[in-house]
Structure 1
């Protein structure tokens, strides 16, 4: 066994990789070799550390020093100062946005110390391409415990008692779904994982696949034993090349170690896992469409019943959960259902992983106990809104969810409370919006996404969402008319009641939630022909403030349509009839004399 005095953990998730993490790892190894420290210091590529806003991220143990925004050219300072001389490189340490505080380690940072990591337990800690590091972190012990000492029903009962609910949609009880599949009659059963994460701004499942792939393999194997299946499929987006690569490595390693295949742990139990790549269709995140795609057919949903537990992929009883749901299973088996049930709230047990994005200082991946308030997530963990602007809303559940306004900042985040206010947990994307966001435009964005991604099989989704989008397009272009709001509501309710699958049934949610909480913005667009947030271009008017204009003429020279006139050293004027509202005049004015209203 090789022993090192220092371990340099470099985030190797997609976010940090895109910012140069691989070049940084190469530079660090070169410097360590140059200083003859190769026998003392090891550089480890990990999965996502979570604080994507500060990447590439580096943590050096045993000190636990956390460096952020690290570039390849910083490798020499880290190697010479920290690794050779034992001096912390102060300029690279994380700095708190508000206080310029210099914490040394992760545990001193609010972003991390306010989280509780179960699903993300190993992400950013182990090398995801090394099965021995996973085993060293108690990996595959839960599988051994199950296969050598528990019956199928005991495993299912453990999941039931834990209170674990599905982390990919409406939160159906996981143990109950396992029970249905176990009880189904069939000569062949399957275990599937939905890794087709398609919500805009969501990257929770991707980060688990990249940072801890063996946790998914172990959980699916446990599920296979519990329901009586011998084959599993992971349906993963082809747009996740790093996740696909690490899953393939993990599967091959597990087979080599006898943890997949025949006679696992000498018990006679047989189970194997293969990958199936999705082509990027959002509708394939719906369970029946996903199964149809695995069968090699066009990914379209089918009516239920029969439900997948009785007739799923290839017409056989099938269990389907998403990545995050499965990732909880090994920890529940090892620590007991009571331990898991003690976390969270009465009806929402455990933790939830969210991808924080949008108008937030600490963009990244967070895992919080169920029942944590939105305010804690936005301000304590997320670091608040950039430039001190006011929080306006948070979109959860992606295109199937809704917008949570500021009045619910102190509401606990859990399944039932989100549904009550017109949103949903969904897979865990959380897009934060501030005072500069137009909620009509936000609703339009999500509906446009759904229209583009609709499979077209059922008329309510294919036609109804298109009609809703046409109304929203009119409204943001200043062509809205009285009755449009009521028509949107009527269409939305009809689509929710009659669409074939969950995608269509939830497509109107962003429109309905914004109508409920931001109706005044719709009315301003329709009646006053104004966009209160100043976002919808066709409703804006660019004006030169005469008291601020120096008469330099730069705006007139840069205007692409000649809509600005004036004399040198005199205030210039914008002709609203000619103005195309491109905003160039406002961008180039050095004196902030051009405003939009």
Structure 2
């Protein structure tokens, strides 16, 4: 193995030992090797691999959807929509053509690297989850839409797909069930907008990655006009354990922390002692995760944190005791998103942090609608002026207006609202830092320069 591959695998290792991970408590990671080796087909089969699929293929596809709804498996890609409910809305049966199941493995959200762990080290868990999902949704073909930069993931997944085909888990008449299904790996060109499911479908079809109007939803008319289910990597990886051990078991994994069932791949990035990933019960608090990461590095103090990637709203230290589930975080004006925390310390300028984030969102806009195409570059220009201490009176009010104009329901897709949320919450909690960037504020003859910290 090359040094490059060793380095890639090391960086995506989960920060829990094999002794800490058990099948009854860690359905996503208990098979992983501490040294980062890939769990190949032989290893996977020896540890309950494809047993859920064998059982499912003997039963009614509707039972799979019912179990997913009862387990309350919510989408782990950021939206938190019930996977079982989404599957129940997919048109199938009668004269309906067989459709497609697409795995969203684009993972372009800044600060997020959880799906990479599973794909690099445990590809057969994803493959089994996709086959079960395809059986439930009467899909004839599956696609893994992979972020183009994930070269190591592509290598591992292609090997695993070949193993699965040779063993009869993909192709015609899977396990003698009469069900036909195969999976193709598709590497994207590297666009953040492809994380939006309809833009992903457009790109998969060979078109420009622009989002589509809904309705019709992909479950009714998706890829090539056929019923299409799009789920995140982590969401699909939950499926085999739910089908093998039951919805009640899955619900109990989170204990009394939350009504959301199961576990979550939580993580931390930024200036902490141990950036990385942990599989923890859904509803684990931000404080617990930060402690697992060893706390903030070099005695610095926490100023703010994003709970689930760059498109979520900033929370402050007093929010660390909240359970990180979809509904609780939503009530605080943010979103759980991908569940990977990004830490901001007291020596970092929130204006600089926001300028950095908004530059990313402005660059990644597909340009399809005016508020996003024109509004986000305007936001960047205002932030650049404030960062340099050259802002004007009214700039902060204009930032607030632009954030509102890019809010939910006012743009074609969720890209612009995702860019607006961190800006709105940064202005809410740290407006004084933005005010320091105004060149001639009304109440002061001179404004202090903004400290440009690590971003």
Secondary structure in 2 matching 1:230:
strand
Partner in structure 1 of residue 309 of structure 2? 398
Instruction: Confirm or deny: 8 A CA contact 1:399 1:449 kept in the other structure.
Output: no
- In structure 2, stretches of 5+ residues that fail to align are none
Q: Deviations over 1:93-118 (max 9, x none)?
A: xxxxxxxxxxxxx64xxxx89x9532
Structure 2 vs 1, CA of residues 350 and 14 (structure 1 numbering), >3 Å: closer, same or farther? farther
Distance 1:13 1:199 in 2: 28
Deviation at 1:20, TM superposition (A): 9.4
Structure 2 vs 1, CA of residues 252 and 20 (structure 1 numbering), >3 Å: closer, same or farther? closer
Deviation at 1:277, TM superposition (A): 0.7
- In structure 1, stretches of 5+ residues that fail to align are 1-11, 22-46, 53-58, 65-105, 538-597
Structure 2 vs 1, CA of residues 517 and 183 (structure 1 numbering), >3 Å: closer, same or farther? farther
Q: Deviations over 1:481-533 (max 9, x none)?
A: 22222111111111114210111222111111111111221122334533565
Matched, 1:356 2:268: yes
Structure 2 vs 1, CA of residues 179 and 408 (structure 1 numbering), >3 Å: closer, same or farther? same
Instruction: Confirm or deny: 8 A CA contact 1:116 1:367 kept in the other structure.
Output: no
Distance 2:357 2:25 in 1: 31
Q: Which has the higher contact order (CA 8 A, sep 6+)?
A: 2
Matched, 1:458 2:376: no
Partner in structure 1 of residue 171 of structure 2? 261
Partner in structure 1 of residue 393 of structure 2? 482
Instruction: Confirm or deny: 8 A CA contact 1:415 1:425 kept in the other structure.
Output: yes
Deviation at 1:386, TM superposition (A): 1.0
Distance 1:224 1:349 in 2: 22
Secondary structure in 2 matching 1:260:
coil
Instruction: Confirm or deny: 8 A CA contact 1:195 1:322 kept in the other structure.
Output: yes
Distance 1:196 1:226 in 2: 23
Partner in structure 2 of residue 179 of structure 1? 88
Instruction: Confirm or deny: 8 A CA contact 1:167 1:324 kept in the other structure.
Output: yes
Partner in structure 2 of residue 339 of structure 1? 249
Partner in structure 2 of residue 297 of structure 1? 207
Matched, 1:271 2:271: no
Q: Name whichever of 189-198 and 381-390 sits farther off.
A: 381-390
Secondary structure in 1 matching 2:73:
coil
Q: Deviations over 1:275-325 (max 9, x none)?
A: 111011110111000000110111111111111110111111101100000
Distance 1:15 1:284 in 2: 27
Matched, 1:504 2:419: no
Q: Deviations over 1:342-369 (max 9, x none)?
A: 1224432212212311011111111221
Distance 1:451 1:305 in 2: 26
Instruction: Confirm or deny: 8 A CA contact 1:189 1:316 kept in the other structure.
Output: yes
Deviation at 1:182, TM superposition (A): 4.8
Partner in structure 2 of residue 206 of structure 1? 116
Distance 2:394 2:321 in 1: 34
The two structures have a TM-score, normalised by structure 2, of 0.92
Matched, 1:375 2:339: no
Q: Which aligned segments of 4 or more residues in structure 1 are displaced greater than 4 angstroms?
A: 12-16, 182-185, 531-534
Partner in structure 2 of residue 426 of structure 1? 337
Figure out how many residues of one structure are paired with residues of the other and give that number.
443
Matched, 1:244 2:154: yes
Instruction: Confirm or deny: 8 A CA contact 1:200 1:429 kept in the other structure.
Output: no
Matches for 1:213-224 after TM superposition, within 5 Å: 213-224=123-134
Deviation at 1:14, TM superposition (A): 10
Partner in structure 1 of residue 69 of structure 2? 160
Deviation at 1:163, TM superposition (A): 0.8
Partner in structure 2 of residue 310 of structure 1? 220
Distance 2:102 2:26 in 1: 24
Distance 1:533 1:351 in 2: 39
Secondary structure in 1 matching 2:269:
strand
Partner in structure 1 of residue 447 of structure 2? 529
Distance 1:530 1:186 in 2: 66
Matched, 1:231 2:149: no
Deviation at 1:534, TM superposition (A): 4.8
Instruction: Confirm or deny: 8 A CA contact 1:14 1:242 kept in the other structure.
Output: no
Within the candidate set 9, 15, 34, 1:51 is matched to 15
Structure 2 vs 1, CA of residues 314 and 20 (structure 1 numbering), >3 Å: closer, same or farther? closer
Matched, 1:147 2:57: yes
Instruction: Confirm or deny: 8 A CA contact 1:48 1:124 kept in the other structure.
Output: no
| Larger Cα-atom Rg | 1
Deviation at 1:18, TM superposition (A): 2.1
Partner in structure 2 of residue 131 of structure 1? 41
Q: Deviations over 1:187-211 (max 9, x none)?
A: 1210000000001221111111001
Distance 1:462 1:19 in 2: 35
Deviation at 1:135, TM superposition (A): 0.5
Distance 1:330 1:162 in 2: 12
Instruction: Confirm or deny: 8 A CA contact 1:399 1:509 kept in the other structure.
Output: no
Distance 1:342 1:409 in 2: 23
CA RMSD of aligned residues (A): 2.5
Structure 2 vs 1, CA of residues 15 and 438 (structure 1 numbering), >3 Å: closer, same or farther? farther
Instruction: Confirm or deny: 8 A CA contact 1:13 1:48 kept in the other structure.
Output: no
Deviation at 1:169, TM superposition (A): 1.8
Matches for 1:435-446 after TM superposition, within 5 Å: 435-446=346-357
Deviation at 1:13, TM superposition (A): 12
Within the candidate set 269, 282, 300, 1:389 is matched to 300
Distance 1:514 1:15 in 2: 38
Instruction: Confirm or deny: 8 A CA contact 1:204 1:428 kept in the other structure.
Output: no
